[in-house]
Amino acid sequence: MNIKWFGQSCFTIISDNGSKIVIDPFDKKIGYPLPNLEADIVTTSHNHSDHNNVSIVRGKFKHLDKPGQYLESGIVISGISTFHDNKGGTSRGKNIVFKYTIDDINVCHCGDLGHKLSPKQLEQIGSVDILLLPVGGLATINALVAVEVMEQLKPVITIPMHYRTKALGLLGYLFSPVEKFLSLSTKTTMASKNLSLTNEDLETYRGIVVLDYMA
């Protein structure tokens, strides 16, 4: 499996057999360069322009944007209903946490999660090996709550997302930098351009992996 981060909450995951997932593609207004993406599956966590720009993705892909259970291109996917805020969705609406089982690895993408997870949501998500977690606050959970969610899900590897970077320009100052999240966690941290691993490699990367966004 290979995981690349393109900024904000946008990732590609490519399985060992070549199946391609694109997660939460953004529009150019956010500040990151628009990536050149091709997919078999596209998932969008909610209908905001920095997460749902499906038009930039090439290929005859299946678009998943609702909670439920799916089997696409040999990949088992679960969409769990959550909220974009800590007020039951009354402020920013709903959000979908997607879990993907790829190459016997469970990857969980939290989208713009706005709250700690309930016991029911934790049960629906189940076991997580790799957690893609928003940490920058403002429109998502902040660094402190992100650490709490990480402790709830107990992943082997956490990849932070949706935080301040230079690409965001002045907009970035609305978010916390990733260092705030890292300072609140006791986990080992490493940096990487992307993450390529098998199930047997998970322990090698145990802790937090900070990815460079791909230009």
Structure confidence at residue 51 (pLDDT): 84
Q: Which superfamily does 2-211 belong to?
A: Ribonuclease Z/Hydroxyacylglutathione hydrolase-like (3.60.15.10)
Which among 76, 34, 91, 83 is positioned nearest to 57, based on CA atoms?
34
pLDDT at 215 over 80: no
Contacts 24+ apart (CB under 8 A), 119-125: 121/80, 121/82, 121/97, 122/152, 122/153, 124/78, 124/80, 125/78, 125/80, 125/97, 125/99, 125/153
Structure confidence at residue 48 (pLDDT): 82
**132-146 average pLDDT score:** 96
> pLDDT-derived band of residue 151, with 50, 70 and 90 as boundaries?
very high
Most confident of 44-53, 89-98, 116-125: 116-125
CB atoms within 10 A of CB 202: 15
- The pTM for the full model equals 0.96
Q: Are 156 and 203 in contact (CB under 8 A)?
A: yes
**What tens digit of pLDDT does each residue of 85-104 get?**
888 888 888 999 999 999 99
**30-34 average pLDDT score:** 90
